[in-house]
Amino acid sequence: MLALDQSLMGPLKKPPCFQMIQRTVATSKEITLLSKNCKTVHQLKQLHAHLLETNQPRNLFAIAPLLNAAATSNNASFFSYARWVFGRLCHRNTFIYNSMVRGYMQMNLPTDAVFCYLDMLNCGFEANNYTFPPLIKACKILVSSASCVKNSIGHVVHGHAVKFGFGCDPFVLSALIELYSSVHEIETARKLFDSSFERDVVVWTAMVDGYGKVGNVESARKLFEKMPERNTISWSAMMAAYSRDSNFNEVLCLFRRMQEVGTRPNESALVSVLTACAHLGTVTQGWWVHSYAKCYRLVSNPILATALVDMYSKCGYVDSACSVFDGIYDKDAGAWNAMISGVAMNGDARKSLELFNQMIASGTQPTETTFVALLTACTHARMVKEGVKLFEEMGSVYGVEPKLEHYACVVDLLARAGLVEEAEKFIEEKIGGFEGGDANVWGALLGACRIYGNVEFGNRVWKKLADMGIADYGTHLLSYNIYREAGWDTEAKRVRKLISEVGMKKKPGCSVIEVNGAVEEFLAGDFYHPQAPEIYKMLDSFSKLVNLEELLQFYTISLAKIS
């Protein structure tokens, strides 16, 4: 009884790199170790050939570790070979099926993972607790990749897990909580969590992360504080929740707490910290993270390296950003986008275009974010021809369909260059009129009208927006300023009255400073800061000091005149 048709392997040769193992490899542990040490498919085939020569093909315990290592390696070539071997096995077991289900999931082939599971059941094999976590993750990919597909497949797999007796297994439970959270069935996820009697740190973290991903940061934090124990992933999940909620100060506060309790941060936690540093401009904290990443050799992580590029760029350290970017071995679209955006926001549009050309030459497919960065760069550099050309080539040349934000960028590009008539024509022809736009489109037009004093055009835009019933504070304020600066007092008062009647409010201004590594945030009109009385007292003293200087200057001038 052979586990594999040997005739399909071709003539077998004694592999030179395995001369050291003339004896039969006896344990699955040894085979697993050798399989994981294979660097190329050729080496993997040599090990496979050795197993076939030493009568191991009769033993599934010899083939299974090799197939598992290849299938779950996250290497496309290795996985392809694992599929080839799996398809020719005459005899299989649950372990082999589990390996393939996990491999399909890791290679983002969720449909194949589900069919592999069904094939396992049809062949009479029972699932175990290792079957369901990757299978549930495959269901999550299926549901998230097709908005029209409901979570029915997830419910069926959940039922199977319960039927086979693994509904309370911590790893199965955490996978289910993650699945239900991803489709916004957070109440179902919480019921599963509350009904579990074996809530380990994995289950607790899954629930915290679930709340964070649906935007319920308050519930996530309450649960986080109740955790009997926390690991690195728990802290990382909570920080990621605050990062998604744009509460970057709290990200840094949690990071400090994490350090105080002696928990070593992982790459995910450091990415959240760097994102916070980028938005708050706290480059000192960013330097520390960079040094830490170098110390523990984490800079090779492409996501972390990209976060470093973004942080340095937003803090104005473009040379440091370029240095990190150049050190990224395998640059993906995210890394290129971060660098292109970085040089663009620091005023070097030409460099952005050069980087874009290098990106295309490297074979990296540009994304929607790439063109937002490029169009924005062209706008601020008044490079109208280059910007319009890029927009026109987005779909036809680069295969990226323009979205509303790209149309808004082109409107801004034309309007800032004083081409407001062309911008209006673009809106009518490309977006379908003002009704198809958003606050960014309207704001771009009105902003240009204010800059160039084109009050008649601004008045026409405002009337269209008023007829549409638009209640956006930014566009109303721009219209008010256009009228006020042009001396159209009646129209200005009408807009001001409308702002008050509708109850539109401007988001308060915010400033951030970093002192000795600590970040302080100040909001306009905020009386809740713990040092608010001292701050306002100091501001009042500054005001008095200015008045005193003005008074002294007045007396000095008066005395000079008397003399």
Per-residue pLDDT of the chain in tens (563 residues, 90 and over written 9): 334 444 434 444 444 444 444 444 456 677 777 778 788 888 888 888 877 777 555 566 778 888 888 888 888 988 998 899 898 888 889 999 999 999 999 999 999 999 999 999 999 999 999 999 999 999 999 887 765 456 688 899 999 999 999 988 999 999 999 999 998 999 999 999 998 888 899 999 999 999 999 999 999 999 999 999 999 999 999 999 999 999 999 999 999 999 999 999 999 999 999 999 999 988 999 999 999 999 998 888 999 999 999 999 999 999 999 999 999 988 999 999 999 999 988 888 999 999 999 999 999 999 999 999 999 999 888 899 999 999 999 989 999 999 888 988 988 888 888 887 888 788 778 776 666 666 677 777 777 777 777 777 767 776 766 666 656 666 667 777 777 777 777 777 776 776 665 655 555 555 555 555 555 555 555 554 566 666 666 666 666 665 655 556 655 665 555 55
Give the largest CA-CA distance in the chain.
120
Identity of the amino acid at 97 = Y
pLDDT recorded at residue 39: 80
Q: For residue 375, is it within any domain? A: yes
Tell me how far apart the alpha carbons of residues 15 and 46 are, in angstroms, rounded to a whole number: 6
Considering Cα of 181, then 187, then 190, then 196, what sign does the dihedral take? negative
Q: Are residues 475 and 498 in the same domain?
A: yes
Question: Residue 108 phi/psi, 5° resolution?
Answer: 60, 45
* DSSP assignments along 171-226, one per residue: HHHHHHHHHHHHTT-HHHHHHHHHH-S---HHHHHHHHHHHHHTT-HHHHHHHHHH
pLDDT recorded at residue 257: 95
Q: For residue 122, is it within any domain? A: no
Helices 333-345, 302-314: axis angle to 10 degrees equals 10
Q: Are residues 484 and 413 in the same domain?
A: yes
Q: Are residues 417 and 464 in the same domain?
A: yes
Q: Are residues 482 and 542 in the same domain?
A: no
Q: Are residues 497 and 514 in the same domain?
A: no
Q: For residue 482, is it within any domain? A: yes
Closest CA to 422 of 464, 380, 454, 390: 454
pLDDT recorded at residue 37: 77
Q: Which of 396, 431, 466 is the last residue of a domain?
A: 396
Q: For residue 534, is it within any domain? A: yes
Q: Are residues 420 and 380 in the same domain?
A: no
Q: Which of 348, 363, 396 is the last residue of a domain?
A: 396
Q: For residue 471, is it within any domain? A: yes
Residue range of the domain that includes 536? 510-560
Q: Are residues 348 and 434 in the same domain?
A: no
pLDDT recorded at residue 106: 94
Closest CA to 115 of 87, 88, 91, 147: 87
Q: For residue 479, is it within any domain? A: yes
- The stretches of 56-185 forming alpha helices (DSSP H) are 60-71, 76-87, 94-106, 110-122, 132-145, 152-163, 170-182
Q: Are residues 341 and 418 in the same domain?
A: no
Q: For residue 550, is it within any domain? A: yes
Q: Are residues 504 and 514 in the same domain?
A: no
Q: Are residues 374 and 438 in the same domain?
A: no
No. of helices (H) and no. of strands (E), the chain: 29, 2
Q: Are residues 378 and 341 in the same domain?
A: yes
How many Cβ atoms from other residues are within 10 Å of residue 392's Cβ? 12
Q: For residue 412, is it within any domain? A: yes
User: How many domains are there within the chain?
Assistant: 3
Burial label for 291, CB within 10 Å (0-12, 13-18, 19+), is exposed
How much helix, strand and coil, in percent to the nearest 5, is found in the chain?
Answer: 70, 0, 25
* DSSP assignments along 264-311, one per residue: PP-HHHHHHHHHHHHHHT-HHHHHHHHHHHHHTT-TT-HHHHHHHHHH
For the chain, the straight-line distance linking the first and the last C-alpha, in angstroms and rounded, comes to 120
Q: Are residues 340 and 429 in the same domain?
A: no
